[in-house]
Every structure is written in C-alpha cells, then in structure tokens.
C-alpha cells in the first residue's frame, strides 16, 4: 500500500488530493453539502477515519465547513460568516458595523509589467481595472484599485457591480465561478496623493497604509491583484500572531 521511503505520502493525504480535485472540478457547488464521510469512504475504498482526517485538513484551510448533525459544506463567500473574510481593518472604537462598498470606476486595459507579473498572465493580456471606496459608518476609509484577468471575468461591468448586493468575492464566485481561497498582503506606509486625499477626505500627504493583495484560487493560481490605501485616522489594521 504505502510507498517506499523517499516520496512517502500517507493515505489520507492522497484522499485529500482527490477531494480537492473534486472541489476544483466543481463536482459540488459552494454552499452545498458534500457526500457524507461514510459515502466518501466507500467511494475511495478507505475507512471513515481516513476520510475524516483528509476533510479535517481541508476544513482547516477554510475550503470546507463542518456542521455537526448536518454535513460538510463547500465554503462560500456568500456565507455571511465569510463576508469580508480577508479584511483586517477595524474601527478604533469597537463599532462592529460592516463596511459598505461603493464602486467608482470600471474599465478594461492591457496588462503592464506589474499586473502581468502579479497575475501571472501575458504582458498585454486583457485585464479589468476597477476602483471603489470602502465606507465604514458612511465615512470613506479605503480606496481600492483592483486588477482582474479579463479572460476570467468577461461580462463584468460597472452596472454589474452596482447591482450586486454583497462582497466582491461573492460576486466573482457566484457569477464567474472563481473562488478566492487565500491571499497575501504586503503592507507599506505611503503619503496620500492628490486624488486619494480627496476620495478619503484627508489632507494631501497624510500617511496611509498601502495594502497590496494578491488573491489565489485553487492550485495557487493568482486571480486578483489589488492595492488599497487605508486611512488609519479612526481605524487600524489588526493582525493576530500565533
């Protein structure tokens, strides 16, 4: 059963890979339940405990959500608990109100040096650029400039964005089948330029957080690159270190 020493991979990891492949292939849709552990055990010809351990790891990566007594579900950005899952910005006074996204612009362009590198696409490939404002308690706090590979999101338009009630990622998941799994942020401090200062209603030159994010789908494929400028007058970026 098990392989010889150099490339040993336990059974439950092989099962994990099989389940991930099924997820990636879209065999089960976001928000839906996957088969029970017993069924999967039968399908893969292993014991329930082995399937369990595979699912445990996948759930640990937030790709599946276990619900005792009900089943195991494919994680979705439509889930209210996953809303703004990647946003780490918090009001200084513990006001827990959800932010509101206000689209500003949306246009098409060709990928330049930076965009092509970040999104791992050809130089000059079509991309979509969109700008938006994030408001907390109706006050502007973040300006985002978001770059998406044009190929994946053909029908995306300014109107689509305005009509959508929910997060951007839930839109990209529901309408375009792209599921954002993990992201990496690079944070620096910069001075507000003219247009940013106007959008955020701060003085020109005010120090802002520059948060560059690359977001990945299955197979560590980058599908979004964005830069956000955060006003930290009344908010901070909260990070837990373990």
Residues forming contacts to a second copy in the complex (CB under 8 A) are 61-62, 85-86, 88, 182-191, 205, 207-209, 213, 230, 232, 236-242
Select the span of 7-15, 176-184, 189-197, 234-242 touching DNA (CB under 7 A): 7-15
Contact with DNA (CB under 7 A) among 22, 28, 48, 140:
48
Nearer to a second copy, 96 or 241 (CB): 241
Closest CA to 187 of 235, 223, 237: 237
Which of a second copy, DNA, none does residue 136 bind to, with CB < 5 to 8 Å depending on kind?
none
Which of a second copy, DNA, none does residue 11 bind to, with CB < 5 to 8 Å depending on kind?
DNA
**140 within 8 A of 201, measured Cβ to Cβ:** yes
What minimum distance in Å lies between the beta carbon of 224 and a second copy? 12
Contact with DNA (CB under 7 A) among 17, 32, 38, 184:
38
Query: Around 149, how many Cα atoms within 13 Å sit in the side-chain half-sphere?
Result: 21
Nearer to a second copy, 115 or 192 (CB): 192
Angle between helix 48-60 and 11-24 (nearest 10): 60
Interface positions, 61-90, toward DNA (CB under 7 A):
66-72
Element (H, E) at 104: strand 100-110
Which of DNA, a second copy, none does residue 240 bind to, with CB < 5 to 8 Å depending on kind?
a second copy
Which of DNA, a second copy, none does residue 32 bind to, with CB < 5 to 8 Å depending on kind?
none
Residue 11 interacting with DNA (CB under 7 A): yes
**191 within 8 A of 205, measured Cβ to Cβ:** yes
Which of a second copy, DNA, none does residue 47 bind to, with CB < 5 to 8 Å depending on kind?
DNA
Q: Token pair for residue 188?
A: 């620096």
Residue 20 interacting with DNA (CB under 7 A): no
Angle at 137 (CA atoms; ends 134, 141), nearest 5 degrees: 35
DSSP type of residue 205: T
CA dihedral 198, 204, 208, 210 (to 10 degrees): 70
Contact string 121-160 vs DNA (x = CB under 7 A): ----------------------------------------
Element (H, E) at 211: strand 207-217
Q: Please list, residue by residue across 170-194, b when 16 or more beta carbons sit within 10 angstroms of its beta carbon and e when fewer do.
A: bbbbbeeebbbbeeebeeeeeebee
Q: Token pair for residue 38?
A: 């017993």
Nearer to a second copy, 24 or 151 (CB): 24
What are the residues binding DNA (CB under 7 A)?
A: 1-5, 8, 10-13, 34, 36-39, 46-50, 52-53, 66-72
């Amino acid at each position: 059963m098990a392989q010889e020493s150099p490339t040993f991979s336990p059974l439950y990891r092989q099962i994990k890979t099989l389940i991930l492949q099924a997820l990636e292939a879209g065999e089960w849709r976001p928000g839906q339940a996957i088969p029970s552990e017993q069924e999967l055990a039968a399908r893969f010809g292993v014991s329930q405990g082995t399937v369990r351990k595979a699912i445990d790891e996948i759930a640990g990566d937030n790709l599946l959500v276990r619900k005792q007594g009900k089943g195991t579900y494919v994680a979705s950005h439509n889930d209210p608990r996953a809303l703004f899952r990647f946003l780490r910005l918090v009001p200084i006074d513990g006001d827990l109100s959800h932010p509101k996204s206000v689209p500003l612009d949306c246009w098409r362009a060709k990928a330049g040096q930076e965009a092509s590198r970040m999104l791992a696409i050809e130089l000059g490939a079509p991309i979509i650029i969109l700008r938006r404002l994030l408001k907390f308690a109706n006050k502007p706090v973040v300006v985002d400039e978001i770059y998406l590979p044009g190929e994946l999101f053909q029908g995306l338009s300014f109107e689509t964005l305005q009509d959508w009630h929910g997060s951007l990622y839930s839109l990209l998941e529901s309408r375009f089948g792209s599921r954002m799994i993990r992201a990496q942020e690079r944070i620096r401090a910069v001075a507000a330029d003219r247009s940013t200062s106007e959008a955020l209603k701060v003085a020109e030159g005010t120090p802002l957080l520059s948060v560059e994010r690359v977001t990945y789908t299955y197979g560590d494929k980058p599908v979004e690159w964005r830069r956000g400028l955060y006003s930290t007058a009344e908010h901070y970026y909260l990070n837990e270190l373990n």
